Amino acid sequence: MTDTDEAEQPLTPASLAYTHLPDQTMYKVSLDDASHFEQGGDDIRTYPVCFTNEFKLLYFEMDPGAVIDWHTHAPSFDEVCLCLDGAARYTLKREDGDEQVLRAEQREFVYLPGGARHKIETIGETTHQGLVAMPPDSVGRLELLEGDGPAQTADWPVALWVDRIRDEVVRKDENAVTE
């Protein structure tokens, strides 16, 4: 076999050398057993589910009438919010003072650009359940520029925090996380 023949061979899972990969472990997080923090009293519950070097994933519940009031994330924090149940109104305040309002219902996503001043309100008589994905903190800093809730990400009760660069679990809630 020549070098040319080797280069033309397709890469298949069987031909991969897994010796270069870090320890491969899956984890399951039970929200019933996970810790959370509350915003605006006890009508908003935020569960920091999983953090890695590539993303942060949060689950949240907002009771009917609940509002995550005006707040701003760092400019590098684009958010993607998925409505799992109920409905919510997302309001973005633009620099010129105008507001953009979107209604999100089950199976609908809302993209919020980093640095945008925004608020989220539950619509109707059903608890709004959502899932938020955003980039990780690149350095230790404040996550929220304004608003209530723990501002330092390090203070959040993260169920599973995996550092993929060092190949280690930084934090694992033994009550909520299983392998």
Say which range, 19-23, 40-44, 93-97, 142-146, has the weakest mean pLDDT. 142-146
Measured at the alpha carbon of residue 88, what is the angle toward residues 82 and 90, in degrees to the nearest 5? Answer: 85
Residue 153: the pLDDT is 72
- 35-165 to CATH, choices 3.40.50.300, 2.60.120.10, 2.60.120.650, 3.10.129.10: 2.60.120.10
pLDDT, tens digit, 9 for 90 and up, residues 115-174? 999 999 999 999 999 999 999 876 554 455 555 555 567 778 899 989 888 888 989 999
Give bridge partners of residue 178 from the DSSP assignment: 28
Residue 25: the pLDDT is 87
Residue 148: the pLDDT is 53
- Going by C-alpha positions, the residue among 143, 103, 141, 96 that lies closest to residue 123 is 103
Tell me the two tokens of residue 176: 């909520």
Domain boundaries along the sequence of the chain: 35-165
Instruction: Let me know: does 108 contact 129? Beta carbons within 8 Å.
Output: no
Residue 20: the pLDDT is 66
Residue 142: the pLDDT is 47
User: Which is more confidently placed, 111 or 6?
Assistant: 111
Strands 99-105 and 87-93, by their bridges, are antiparallel
pLDDT, tens digit, 9 for 90 and up, residues 76-121? 889 999 999 999 999 999 999 999 999 999 999 999 999 999 999 9
- Going by C-alpha positions, the residue among 95, 50, 73 that lies closest to residue 141 is 73
Put simply, whether the predicted model's pTM sits higher than 0.75 gets the answer yes
On the question of pLDDT at 4 being above 60, the answer is: no
Round to whole Å and give the CA distance between 14 and 71: 49
Provide the residue type at 41 as one letter.
Answer: G
Provide the residue type at 123 as one letter.
Answer: I
What's phi and psi for 18, nearest 5 deg?
Answer: -80, 5
Give how far Cα 67 sits from Cα of 22, 106, 171, Å: 41, 18, 30
Grade residue 14 by pLDDT with cuts at 50, 70 and 90.
low
